Amino acid sequence: MDFVDEYFEKISEIYRHVGYNPSERAYPIMDNRKTNWRIGGDVLETWSKTESLKFADKILKINDRLQVYRGSSYTAVIVDTNVDDNIFMTILQNFSEVPNTERNFINRTCYVLEHNDNQCLIQVDNNDIIIPFSIIEEAINSWSVVDKSFNANISISDEGNTIIIPTGDQ
């Protein structure tokens, strides 16, 4: 057996391990075994175990199914980088998966309960959330809302990062 035969046999082993059938399309394989990772919705986040820089790629969806293939030791995810039509199968180690404990509040009415120059206490669906005031200061000050309520999509990660995207005036 020469090295080309060995290469194709190893690729077939990867496909068998994660349960992927390449009959429709075989994607270039990207090695992300040395990264932490998590899936949030239809996005795969990966980041180095030694750096805080994160990458987020959209998971390819075919027939309303996210292209995620889990084996006993490795997971393969088909990602679209949205750059030059690059689509890859990325290989990840299962033990490096970080549980997704984000709390997401999509298109909810938020109420500003109190705030100072540093932080703001808002209420969303009976959940009190303290966030840096700078995140929403511009949004709530630009609206002529007496009770300081607003609609937003909010995502709070397990690291405490908060993303608030206002969806319009109330």
- The reported pTM is 0.58
pLDDT, one tens digit per residue, over 127-155 is 667 666 666 665 555 554 445 666 776 66
Q: What does the alpha-carbon distance between residue 76 and residue 70 come to, in Å, rounded to a whole number?
A: 6
Q: What is the pLDDT of residues 82-135, one digit of tens each?
A: 788 889 999 999 888 876 655 666 666 777 777 776 777 777 766 667 666 666
Mean pLDDT over the full length of the chain: 77
Rg (Cα) of the chain, in Å, rounded? 21
CA–CA distance, 130 with 115 (Å, rounded to integer)? 9
Cα–Cα distance, 78 to 27 (Å, whole number): 8
List, in order of start, the domains of the chain with CATH numbers.
3-96 (no CATH), 103-168 (2.40.50)
Q: In whole angstroms, what is the distance from residue 150 CA to residue 130 CA? A: 16
Q: Which of 98, 99, 101, 109 is nearest to 154 (CA)?
A: 109
